[in-house]
Structure 1
Amino acid sequence: MASHVSGTHPGAAVRSSERTGIGSGWVVFAGVMMIFGGLMTLFAGIAAIANDEVFAATRNYVFEFDLTGWGWVHLVMGVVITLAGAALFQGATWARVVGVGLAGLAMLANFLWLPYAPFWAIVLIAINAFVIWALCTAPSPER
């Protein structure tokens, strides 16, 4: 006769931990991608502030902004995204909500950044899309 805790059946703890492991795996993935994307955004901002000639801007683009101004925007966004990505490792629910919002803003900023660094802008847009997907599909910590 097998003894088990009342209200549970054999294997329930295994399934529960598997579900948590899968969910935490997506949150870890999102955290790593946010830290990577935040650092890339931070470095792009530093490069734009330090030397405007690093980037070759496309002429006659609809969204034509000052490169130094974009550098400051990217610098601040990079720091905030990196910190929010690090907070995901602490399991904070607020970090998941903030992460989705910041990833959405970063996608918009990188779309507007396309004339200056098209390849990296597209890569960072894709990374931020994966971050939003991972944060939205991961199960909540209460489950």
Structure 2
Amino acid sequence: MTTTPNPATPGATGTPPPGTASAWAAGGAMFAAVLMMINGMFAIFEGIAALAKDDVLWRVRTYTFKFDLTAWGWIHLIVGIVVLIVGIAILKGTTWGRALGIALTGLMIVLHFLWLPYQPLWSLIAIAIGVFVIWALCVDHSPRAF
């Protein structure tokens, strides 16, 4: 006689028990940390480009969120440095790094939305990367370092 697994038992339905992170989610979180570091580096480069030579960016005449390119340069430079540091902290497996990573990535998504007229293609790519990073950091709950 065969027994039917009890659905109340964790893992009986073929799904991992609650609190068990799948290898895919853990890999996604590690990839998200690396993407955060790369996105931070790109934000630093965007900031330097806006500060040093504004002719590499599109000129925007009328835009609700128009700032001086020097202001945008400092914003991207500072946020990029912080995102890079938080990406390293996530790779080390810190809980504060993961929480701050979610918050900073949300901030980066908003900044790239506001930056859209200056660099449209890169802003859309950065927003898509940010959505993936937030998803990956929210899905994996493993407390270990990578």
Who is 1:46 aligned against? Answer: 48
Q: Which deviates further from its counterpart, 57-66 or 110-119?
A: 57-66
Q: How far apart, CA to CA, are the structure 1 residues paired with 2:21 and 2:70?
A: 46
Who is 1:128 aligned against? Answer: 130
Who is 2:105 aligned against? Answer: 103
Who is 1:63 aligned against? Answer: 65
Q: How far apart, CA to CA, are the structure 1 residues paired with 2:113 and 2:21?
A: 35
Q: Per-residue displacement from partner, 1:92-143 (whole Å, max 9, x unpaired)?
A: 011100000000000111111111111111111111111000000112328x
Q: How far apart, CA to CA, are the structure 2 residues paired with 1:25 and 1:129?
A: 16
Who is 2:3 aligned against? Answer: none
Gaps of 5+ in 2: 1-15
SS of residue paired to 2:61: coil
**Equivalent residues of 1:107, 1:125 under 8 A apart:** yes
Percentage identity across aligned positions?
46
Alignment RMSD (CA, Å): 1.9
Aligned-pair distance for 1:22? Answer: 3.5
SS of residue paired to 1:82: helix
**Equivalent residues of 1:57, 1:116 under 8 A apart:** yes
Aligned-pair distance for 1:20? Answer: 5.8
**Equivalent residues of 2:94, 2:143 under 8 A apart:** no
Who is 2:89 aligned against? Answer: 87
Equivalent residues, number: 127
Gaps of 5+ in 1: 1-14
Alignment TM-score, normalising by the size of structure 1: 0.82
**Equivalent residues of 1:48, 1:71 under 8 A apart:** yes
| Structure having the larger proportion of residues in helix | 1
Who is 2:11 aligned against? Answer: none
Alignment TM-score, normalising by the size of structure 2: 0.80
